[in-house]
Structure 1
Amino acid sequence: MLLMPQRDWQWIYNDAYGVLSVSLGSDMEFLTPYKVKLLIPDALTAMQFNVEHAKFYIEFVERLSKTMTIADAVKVQLALNATAAHYLLKPQMPKSWFFDTSAICVYSELAKIFQLRCQGVNVDVMVVESNIQASLVMLLSPNLLLSDTKQLQQFECIKVMNDRLHPVKASRQIAAA
């Protein structure tokens, strides 16, 4: 079942789990992976899932529907995480040094899937925010070891220069979650 935004949706910082969540009415809550240190100050107080958030969410779901054959529940999960990342994460500087440069020039756009290569490992990522030089991407793969002390978990975001984005071969199917 594809969830569409409702007037009673709101962002809440969930103290019990230590992450941002979305209250989807009286009996449902969606937990994002985003912890307090990654969030803007406004995300720590209850705030409406406003019209701008709803438009982004719906556009993201529509783009996913056109490019991927995945369950509605996965679309909702990706779109809610992407909306949270787009509006409520602190701005990031690119951390491109972790990743190999791509030999192919790509066009980055919202909800497009690419690969990043780090220490000989390829992982799938999805664009959450894009500009001409860099993109904020969400990790679709289960996890990624960036260094001995730093790793990304599924659905966490990192900003990279667009020259680090490797195209995904068209014949390959992407499984998220």
Structure 2
Amino acid sequence: MLLMPQRDWQWIYNDSYGVLSVSLGSDMEFLTPYKTKALIPDALATTEFNVEHAKFYIEFIERIGKSLNIADAVRVQLALNATAAHFLLKPQMPKSWFFETSAVCVYSELGKVFQLKCQGEVVQVLVVESNIQASLVMLLSPELHLSDSKAMRQFDCIKVMNDRLHPLKANRQIAAA
């Protein structure tokens, strides 16, 4: 079942868990993975889940429904995390040096899935924010080691130049006549 935004939804910083959360009414709360150091100052105060957030959330739900064959609950989880990342994470500079350059020119857009290649590891990412040169992407894979001392966990976001985004391999069937 897809959750649709309601008037009583709001962003709350959950002190108990040390992460941003979305209050989905009186009896439900969704915890994002985003901690204080990654959030803009406004995210630390209770803020409404406004019309702009709802519009982004609904558009994201629709887009990922076309690109990923996943359960509704996972779509909601991705869309809530993406909405939080898009509106409440601090702006980032691209950190492309961790990733291999792609030999294929890609068109990055919201909700599109790509691969990133880092030290022989290949992971899937989902575009949360895109412009002509760079994209903010959310890690779909469980984990990614960027270096000996730095790692990303599922749903963490990183900004990369679009030339680092590798298209997914399409499964093609060739019929011989």
For the superposition of Structure 1 and Structure 2, which TM-score range results when normalised by the shorter chain?
A: over 0.9
Q: Match of 2:119? A: 119
The Cα shift of 1:169 comes to 1.2
- Please, what is the CA RMSD of the aligned residues? 0.9
In structure 2, runs of 5+ residues without a counterpart are 173-177
Give the counterpart letter for 2:143 in structure 1. N
Report the CA distance between 1:65 and its aligned residue: 1.4
Q: Distance in 2 between matches of 1:68 and 1:153?
A: 20
Deviations 1:80-124 (A, max 9, x none): 000000000000000000000000000000000000000000000
CA deviations on 1:34-92 (whole Å, 9 max, x unpaired) are 00000000000000000000000000000011222110000000000000000000000
Mapping 1:47-126, distance limit 5 Å: 47-126=47-126
Provide the secondary structure at the position in 1 that maps to 2:160.
Answer: strand
Q: Deviations over 1:109-168 (max 9, x none)?
A: 000000000000000000000000000000000000001111000000000000000000
Asked whether the 8 Å contact 2:36–2:44 carries over to 1, the reply is yes
User: Residues of 1 paired with 2:157 and 2:116: CA distance?
Assistant: 12
Aligned equivalent of 2:12: 12
Task: Give the 3-state SS of the residue equivalent to 1:42 in structure 2.
Answer: helix
Give the whole-Å Cα distance in 1 for the aligned partners of 2:57 and 2:23: 15
Identical residues among aligned pairs (%): 81
Which whole-Å CA distance do the structure 2 matches of 1:83 and 1:54 have between them? 9
Q: CA deviation at 1:10?
A: 0.2
SS of corresponding position for 1:167 = coil
